[in-house]
């Protein structure tokens, strides 16, 4: 009966036992360290670094390092690490997940492991779930690190700070936020320790792979990451990737058209909805109807775009509900976060779904965007040499952590014994019956003075319950869609006598609830769940709010047969139990068997969701490999450029030589000189006279080898000639620019292609073949094509970049032939081509600004503007007349290179 879980507990016990021996050796250092004065303690970091360089491993150093961290915490924040916290720290150091219950002090637990891993000097990242916690925790633990001589910084959206006790910002009441001095992102990453959110770390990585200068990279590598609330980040949030995108120009009428089209369909005959899978599919009948309306013979043959639009419009109409999944406010469709119930301002669903919903709601439709860079959290975090995590709820997802991240879970004992009472679920027939029971219980507890925290799954339900409580005259705090700092303040008071707090699932997470005076005797914090979540883990998080550090407390979930989980997943199992128990019509029942049946249903859903995530990862792996290769090449180019050597020049000339020899070999079959010259001119543009001259000159060669040699040398001469004209520094810049820009541009197109491939792959009849295998194969072919294309583009673009004031000078080849590369013409051609093309003397082309959108989970998080010094941009060809000219002259475009 024990099964896997039993084995898990067994090995956990062994693990805990072995951790205990470490605790003893840590303790043995305490007396000695107590005697050190503060100055001496501050030199500890340097000392450990030296010893590590001389060969002591981190494992060797661990006991003394941990003991030093404990000493520092004692002196600075007056908290001495509990033994169980040091066990957690050891677990983190070993690259595992430490499951520590809420309120056990995970913030402090991480410090010894962070300190230890900062010793190799490669930086340690501590990942938090929101910006508020990133600042709070860095500022809170700042004094501990400072006392040890370690620097700590934090990165949040648009800002970065370093902990500096001398700096004081009194605009915050919370002392922990007062000593954070603003610094650049790069400085923050250069600190020994950097706190920040998963989003910011991920986006910085993507941004770093869009820069044109090595020194513009902010991150210095991915050595160790410790992820706080690791289940939220690596499981819940991992479902949606990070995306940086730019707006693309697509007409918006089509969304309206398709939305209207779907309106004409009939829900009983034209499509079927599967709530469980969250899918909506057209029936044969529905397809015929659409084909008739659109006047096409076969919808599936028309194009992916049409089909895609039809599908998104159908989803928008059938699966996405106003005031549940999203709200419409001030003419905008705003997503409601499924977990927290917050309004996700500015975030958008991807792949045209958001536009489809906008069309359905009849509000203004915002443009679809183009992905510039993207990565999933799975793949971001798998880059770290060492990864570890902490959370109150990991063990239910142990298998997933192990399979996807190779992270094992160790359940750390609590500091004090847990005395919280978890009552069995009570189950009602109807939702309204359930809610009035909840309201009654809350009123009763409130009367008695016992604080209550009610968790709900959405804003709507939050407000509904709030209304019920108002009618009963129960005063309460309502928590949703507020800012994290405020939320933190409210939730921290939820344990006071008589307090009633109604909160969406995870509002105010990361902040623990301390009990007020006399509350322990009243039974402690009472947590009421109003619905079971799909995942037991989320329910456990809610329960975990109560019973911290040996506090008394109670929890209970209220459920109705009309709840989503029951309707969609629980059905059979639960009704069987209900029948067995002969549930009466109008009274609720409370029985362990019901809770068990529900947990059985949850387990099924969890498994199902894990499968989906695993599936996503499998597909994602393909892109991930490709991204690593491309980013690797990119990085090499940046490093080469930074060294100012001739390596790139040689590489480019080699690529040209290969292209030329290809041209000559196809020429040898046809013997068409004019064609050869014209082909050559796609690399080096020539004026009309030079073209004729070159053709004549080529006719003199009999052997193709000699011909190739001549052309290759000629090209090298042109190249050197140009270099003499513009100066070698500019020549090097041109190389970097063309190289990187080509990679970026083609990579972005590739992202799009792969995206289409991926969404289309399921639609193709593969006659029983595995779509994943087919996808991998096709993606591989496309990638090979991409790599060839990058080379070809570089070859064909390098001679077409020009600088300001560059006058093409004649190149003399042999006694009678004068061949002139025609730079001016090519310049004009290139300006009408919407591609970045031109380089300036000092800087890479200054272009019009490009708005860049930062996106997660298909939801826009922020927008950025790129383009002041040559970062990736899509809009070089579309410079405004009044923008600074691309050539870097500083003059307006219309007064400089604007074509007359
Ligand atoms: P968690 O993240 O595990 O929920 P926190 O890090 O927010 O917990 O800490 C919860 C509370 O416990 C904080 O108020 C903190 O000051 C306190 N705490 C943590 N460790 C200790 C300790 N060793 N001694 C005293 N108080 C501690
Ligand atoms: Mg915490």
Reported in sequence order, the residue ranges of 518-638 that DSSP labels E, i.e. its strands, are 525-529, 553-560, 589-590
Q: What is the pLDDT of residue 865?
A: 44
- Residue 469 backbone dihedrals phi, psi, to 5 degrees: -70, -40
pLDDT of 860 strictly over 70: no
Which ligand has the minimum distance to the alpha carbon of residue 232? 2
Task: Look at 577 and 374; give whichever has higher pLDDT.
Answer: 374
C-alpha 129 – ligand 2 centre gap (Å): 10
Atom of ligand 1 nearest to the CA of 102: 4
For ligand 1, say whether the CB of 360 is within 6 Å of any of its atoms: no
Burial 772-811 (b: 16+ CB within 10 A, else e): eeebbebbeeebeebbeebbbbbbbbbbbbbbbebebeeb
CA dihedral sign, ordered 877, 879, 880, 882 = negative
Instruction: Look at phi and psi of residue 588 and say left if phi exceeds 0, alpha if psi is from -120 to 50, else beta.
Output: beta
For ligand 1, say whether the CB of 492 is within 6 Å of any of its atoms: no
C-alpha 79 – ligand 1 centre gap (Å): 8
Q: How far is the C-alpha of 410 from the C-alpha of 859, rounded, in Å?
A: 34
For ligand 1, say whether the CB of 104 is within 6 Å of any of its atoms: yes
Find where tokens 């847990």 sit.
418
In terms of Cβ atoms closer than 10 Å to its own Cβ (0-12, 13-18, 19+), residue 184 is: exposed
**What pTM was estimated for this model as a whole?**
0.78
Atom of ligand 1 nearest to the CA of 100: 3
C-alpha 124 – ligand 2 centre gap (Å): 18
Q: How far is the C-alpha of 785 from the C-alpha of 517, rounded, in Å?
A: 70
C-alpha 177 – ligand 1 centre gap (Å): 17
C-alpha 511 – ligand 1 centre gap (Å): 10
DSSP string, 205-228: HHHHTT-SSGGG-------EEEEE
At residue 887, the 3 state secondary structure works out as coil
For ligand 1, say whether the CB of 111 is within 6 Å of any of its atoms: no
Protein residue closest via CA to atom 26 of ligand 1: 79
Q: How far is the C-alpha of 641 from the C-alpha of 630, rounded, in Å?
A: 17
Q: Of 732, 575, 587, 590, whose CA–CA distance to 648 is shortest?
A: 732
Q: Which residues contact 280 (CB under 8 A, 6 or more apart)?
A: 271, 272, 273, 274, 311, 314, 315, 318, 319
pLDDT of 142 strictly over 80: yes
pLDDT of 596 strictly over 90: no
Protein residue closest via CA to atom 13 of ligand 1: 105
DSSP string, 305-324: HHHHHHHHHHHHHHT--BTT
Atom of ligand 1 nearest to the CA of 511: 7
Task: Look at 3 and 382; give whichever has higher pLDDT.
Answer: 382
Q: What is the pLDDT of residue 439?
A: 95
Find where tokens 């959405």 sit.
458
For ligand 1, say whether the CB of 108 is within 6 Å of any of its atoms: yes
C-alpha 515 – ligand 1 centre gap (Å): 14
Which ligand has the minimum distance to the alpha carbon of residue 133? 2
Q: How far is the C-alpha of 461 from the C-alpha of 756, rounded, in Å?
A: 38
pLDDT confidence bin for 586, thresholds 50/70/90:
low
> How many C-beta atoms lie closer than 10 Å to residue 461's C-beta?
20
Q: How far is the C-alpha of 504 from the C-alpha of 500, rounded, in Å?
A: 13
For ligand 1, say whether the CB of 105 is within 6 Å of any of its atoms: yes
pLDDT confidence bin for 176, thresholds 50/70/90:
very high
Task: Look at 44 and 815; give whichever has higher pLDDT.
Answer: 44
Q: What is the pLDDT of residue 126?
A: 98
Q: How far is the C-alpha of 877 from the C-alpha of 830, rounded, in Å?
A: 8
pLDDT confidence bin for 71, thresholds 50/70/90:
very high
Burial 118-127 (b: 16+ CB within 10 A, else e): bbeeebbbbb
For ligand 1, say whether the CB of 103 is within 6 Å of any of its atoms: yes
C-beta of residue 360 within 8 angstroms of C-beta of residue 325: no
Region 714-738: what's the mean pLDDT? 90
For ligand 1, say whether the CB of 124 is within 6 Å of any of its atoms: no
Task: Look at 816 and 198; give whichever has higher pLDDT.
Answer: 198
Atom of ligand 1 nearest to the CA of 104: 3
For ligand 1, say whether the CB of 512 is within 6 Å of any of its atoms: yes
Protein residue closest via CA to atom 22 of ligand 1: 79
> Ligand 1, residues 87, 108, 416, 547: which to mutate, most atoms within 8 A of Cβ?
108
Task: List the single range of 263-272, 296-305, 526-535, 732-741 with lowest mean pLDDT.
Answer: 296-305
C-beta of residue 446 within 8 angstroms of C-beta of residue 452: yes
C-alpha 123 – ligand 1 centre gap (Å): 25
The tokens of 891 are what? 């003059």
Task: List the single range of 210-214, 799-803, 893-897 with lowest mean pLDDT.
Answer: 893-897
> Ligand 1, residues 66, 103, 110: which to mutate, most atoms within 8 A of Cβ?
103
- Residue 613 backbone dihedrals phi, psi, to 5 degrees: -65, -35
C-alpha 102 – ligand 1 centre gap (Å): 9
Which ligand has the minimum distance to the alpha carbon of residue 74? 1
Atom of ligand 1 nearest to the CA of 73: 23
For ligand 1, say whether the CB of 393 is within 6 Å of any of its atoms: no
Protein residue closest via CA to atom 16 of ligand 1: 105
pLDDT of 4 strictly over 80: no
Task: Look at 618 and 572; give whichever has higher pLDDT.
Answer: 618
Protein residue closest via CA to atom 9 of ligand 1: 105
pLDDT of 3 strictly over 70: no
C-alpha 106 – ligand 1 centre gap (Å): 7
C-alpha 691 – ligand 2 centre gap (Å): 72
Atom of ligand 1 nearest to the CA of 107: 6
C-beta of residue 560 within 8 angstroms of C-beta of residue 431: yes
Burial 868-882 (b: 16+ CB within 10 A, else e): ebbbbbbbbbebeee
For ligand 1, say whether the CB of 67 is within 6 Å of any of its atoms: no
Q: What is the pLDDT of residue 861?
A: 44
Protein residue closest via CA to atom 24 of ligand 1: 79
C-alpha 104 – ligand 1 centre gap (Å): 6
C-alpha 118 – ligand 1 centre gap (Å): 22
C-beta of residue 187 within 8 angstroms of C-beta of residue 204: no
Q: At what angle do helices 58-76 and 83-93 cross, to 10 degrees?
A: 140
Q: At what angle do helices 592-642 and 771-797 cross, to 10 degrees?
A: 20
pLDDT confidence bin for 50, thresholds 50/70/90:
very high
pLDDT of 814 strictly over 80: no
Q: What is the pLDDT of residue 813?
A: 38
Protein residue closest via CA to atom 25 of ligand 1: 79
Region 579-597: what's the mean pLDDT? 73
C-alpha 89 – ligand 2 centre gap (Å): 14
Which ligand has the minimum distance to the alpha carbon of residue 98? 1
Q: Which residues pair with 162 in a beta bridge?
A: 153, 181
pLDDT confidence bin for 214, thresholds 50/70/90:
very high
Q: How far is the C-alpha of 870 from the C-alpha of 744, rounded, in Å?
A: 12
Q: What is the mean pLDDT of the chain?
A: 83
For ligand 1, say whether the CB of 509 is within 6 Å of any of its atoms: no
Task: Look at 4 and 589; give whichever has higher pLDDT.
Answer: 589
Region 448-453: what's the mean pLDDT? 96
Which ligand has the minimum distance to the alpha carbon of residue 130? 2
Q: How far is the C-alpha of 93 from the C-alpha of 83, rounded, in Å?
A: 15
- DSSP letter at 365 equals P
State pLDDT tens for residues 472-494: 999 999 887 556 777 888 888 99
C-alpha 101 – ligand 2 centre gap (Å): 9
Q: Of 786, 763, 802, 673, whose CA–CA distance to 287 is shortest?
A: 763
The tokens of 717 are what? 């001469």
C-alpha 390 – ligand 1 centre gap (Å): 14
Task: List the single range of 1-10, 575-584, 623-632 with lowest mean pLDDT.
Answer: 1-10
Which ligand has the minimum distance to the alpha carbon of residue 102? 1
Q: Which residues contact 190 (CB under 8 A, 6 or more apart)?
A: 123, 220
DSSP string, 391-457: ES--GGGHHHHHHHH---EEEPPPSS----EEPPPEEESSHHHHHHHHHHHHHHHHHHT--EEEEES
State pLDDT tens for residues 330-362: 888 988 877 667 777 667 777 788 899 999 999
Q: How far is the C-alpha of 698 from the C-alpha of 713, rounded, in Å?
A: 13
Q: What is the pLDDT of residue 851?
A: 45
C-beta of residue 299 within 8 angstroms of C-beta of residue 310: yes
852 sits in which H/E element: strand 850-856
For ligand 1, say whether the CB of 80 is within 6 Å of any of its atoms: yes
Number of H helices, E strands in the chain: 33, 28
For ligand 1, say whether the CB of 846 is within 6 Å of any of its atoms: no
First to last CA, the chain: 84
Atom of ligand 1 nearest to the CA of 514: 14
The tokens of 503 are what? 């909160």
Q: What is the pLDDT of residue 239?
A: 74
pLDDT confidence bin for 890, thresholds 50/70/90:
low
Distances 495 to 68, 104, 416 between C-alpha atoms, Å: 34, 16, 19
Q: How far is the C-alpha of 502 from the C-alpha of 455, rounded, in Å?
A: 6
Atom of ligand 1 nearest to the CA of 82: 23
C-alpha 128 – ligand 2 centre gap (Å): 9
For ligand 1, say whether the CB of 541 is within 6 Å of any of its atoms: no
For ligand 1, say whether the CB of 106 is within 6 Å of any of its atoms: yes
Q: How far is the C-alpha of 520 from the C-alpha of 806, rounded, in Å?
A: 82
Which ligand has the minimum distance to the alpha carbon of residue 79? 1
Atom of ligand 1 nearest to the CA of 137: 6
C-alpha 742 – ligand 1 centre gap (Å): 51
The tokens of 511 are what? 């902040």
Task: List the single range of 190-199, 275-284, 319-328 with lowest mean pLDDT.
Answer: 275-284
State pLDDT tens for residues 825-848: 222 222 222 222 222 222 222 233
C-alpha 107 – ligand 2 centre gap (Å): 6
Q: Of 847, 892, 864, whose CA–CA distance to 741 is shortest?
A: 847
Q: What is the pLDDT of residue 807?
A: 38
- Residue 818 backbone dihedrals phi, psi, to 5 degrees: -115, 115
Pairing of strands 279-282, 271-274: antiparallel
CA dihedral sign, ordered 742, 743, 744, 745 = positive
């Amino acid at each position: 009966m024990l099964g896997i879980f039993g084995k898990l507990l067994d090995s956990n016990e062994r693990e805990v036992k072995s951790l205990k021996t470490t605790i003893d050796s840590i303790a043995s250092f305490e007396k000695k360290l107590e005697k050190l004065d503060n100055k001496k303690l501050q030199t500890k970091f340097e000392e450990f670094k030296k010893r590590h360089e001389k060969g002591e491993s981190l494992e060797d150093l661990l006991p003394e390092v941990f003991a030093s961290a404990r000493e520092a915490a004692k002196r600075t924040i007056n908290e001495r690490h509990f033994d169980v916290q040091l066990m957690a720290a050891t677990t983190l150091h070993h690259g595992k997940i430490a499951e520590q219950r809420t309120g056990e002090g995970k913030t402090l637990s991480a410090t010894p492991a962070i300190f230890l891993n900062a010793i190799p000097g490669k930086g340690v990242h501590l990942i938090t779930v929101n910006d508020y916690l990133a600042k709070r925790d860095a500022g809170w633990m700042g004094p501990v690190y400072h006392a040890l001589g370690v620097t700590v910084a934090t990165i949040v959206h648009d800002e970065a700070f370093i902990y500096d006790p001398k700096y004081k910002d009194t605009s915050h009441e919370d002392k922990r936020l007062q000593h954070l001095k603003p610094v650049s992102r790069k400085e923050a990453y250069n600190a020994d320790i950097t706190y920040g959110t998963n989003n910011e770390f991920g986006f910085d990585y993507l941004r770093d792979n869009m820069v044109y200068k090595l020194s513009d990279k902010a991150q210095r590598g991915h050595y160790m990451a410790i992820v706080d609330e690791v289940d939220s980040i690596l499981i819940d949030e991992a479902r949606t990737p990070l995306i940086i995108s730019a707006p693309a120009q697509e007409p918006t009428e089509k969304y309206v058209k398709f939305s209207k089209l779907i309106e004409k369909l009939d829900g009983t005959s034209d499509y079927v909805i599967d709530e469980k899978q969250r899918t909506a599919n057209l029936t044969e009948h529905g397809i015929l109807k659409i084909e008739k309306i659109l006047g096409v013979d076969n919808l599936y043959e028309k194009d992916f775009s049409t089909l895609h639009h039809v599908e998104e419009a159908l989803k928008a109409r059938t699966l996405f509900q106003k005031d549940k999944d999203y709200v419409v406010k001030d003419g905008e469709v705003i997503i409601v976060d499924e977990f927290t119930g917050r309004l996700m301002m500015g975030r958008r669903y991807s792949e045209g779904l958001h536009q489809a919903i906008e069309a359905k709601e009849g509000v203004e439709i915002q443009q679809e965007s183009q992905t510039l860079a993207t990565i999933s959290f799975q793949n971001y975090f798998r880059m770290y040499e060492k990864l570890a995590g902490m959370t109150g709820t990991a063990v239910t997802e142990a298998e997933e952590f192990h399979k996807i991240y190779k992270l094992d879970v160790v359940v750390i004992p609590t500091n004090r014994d847990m005395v919280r009472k978890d009552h069995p679920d009570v189950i009602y027939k109807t939702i309204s019956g359930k809610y009035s029971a909840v309201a009654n219980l809350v009123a009763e507890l409130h009367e008695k003075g016992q604080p209550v925290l009610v968790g709900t799954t959405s804003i709507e339900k939050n407000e509904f319950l709030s209304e019920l409580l108002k009618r009963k005259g129960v005063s309460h705090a309502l928590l949703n869609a507020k800012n994290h700092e405020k939320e933190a303040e409210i939730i921290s008071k939820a344990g006071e006598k008589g307090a009633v707090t109604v909160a969406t699932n995870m509002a105010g997470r990361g902040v623990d609830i301390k009990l007020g005076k006399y509350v322990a005797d009243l039974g402690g914090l009472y947590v009421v769940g109003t619905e079971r979540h799909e995942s037991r883990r989320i329910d456990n998080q809610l329960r975990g709010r109560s019973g911290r550090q040996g506090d008394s407390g109670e929890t209970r979930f209220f459920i109705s047969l009309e709840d989503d989980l029951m309707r969609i997943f629980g059905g059979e199992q639960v009704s069987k139990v209900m029948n067995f128990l002969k549930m009466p019509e109008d009274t609720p029942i409370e029985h362990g068997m019901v809770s068990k049946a529900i947990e059985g249903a949850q387990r099924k859903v969890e498994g199902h969701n894990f499968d989906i995530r695993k599936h996503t990862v499998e597909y994602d792996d393909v892109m991930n490999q490709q991204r690593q290769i491309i980013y690797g090449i990119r990085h090499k180019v940046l490093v080469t450029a930074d060294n100012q050597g001739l390596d790139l020049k040689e590489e480019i000339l080699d690529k040209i030589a290969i292209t030329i020899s290809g041209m000559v070999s196809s020429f040898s079959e046809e013997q068409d000189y004019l064609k050869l010259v014209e082909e050559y001119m796609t690399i080096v543009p020539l004026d009309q006279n030079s073209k004729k001259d070159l053709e004549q000159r080529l006719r003199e060669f009999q052997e193709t080898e000699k011909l190739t040699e001549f052309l290759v040398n000629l090209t090298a001469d042109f190249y050197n000639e140009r270099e003499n004209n513009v100066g070698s520094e500019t020549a090097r810049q041109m190389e970097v620019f063309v190289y990187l820009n080509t990679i970026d541009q083609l990579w972005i197109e590739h992202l799009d292609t792969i995206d289409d491939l991926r969404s289309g792959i399921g639609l193709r009849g593969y006659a029983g073949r595995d779509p994943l295998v087919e996808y991998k194969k096709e993606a591989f072919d496309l990638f090979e094509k991409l790599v060839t294309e990058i080379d070809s583009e570089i070859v064909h673009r390098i001679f077409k970049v020009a600088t300001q004031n560059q006058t093409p000078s004649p190149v003399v080849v042999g006694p009678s032939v004068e061949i002139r590369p025609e730079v001016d013409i090519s310049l004009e051609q290139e300006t009408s081509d919407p591609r970045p093309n031109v380089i300036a003397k000092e800087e890479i082309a200054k272009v019009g600004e490009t708005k860049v959108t930062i996106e997660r989970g298909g939801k826009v998080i922020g927008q950025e503007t790129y383009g002041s010094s040559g970062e990736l941009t899509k809009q070089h060809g579309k410079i405004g007349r009044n923008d600074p000219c691309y050539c870097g002259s500083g003059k307006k475009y219309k007064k400089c290179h604007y074509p007359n």
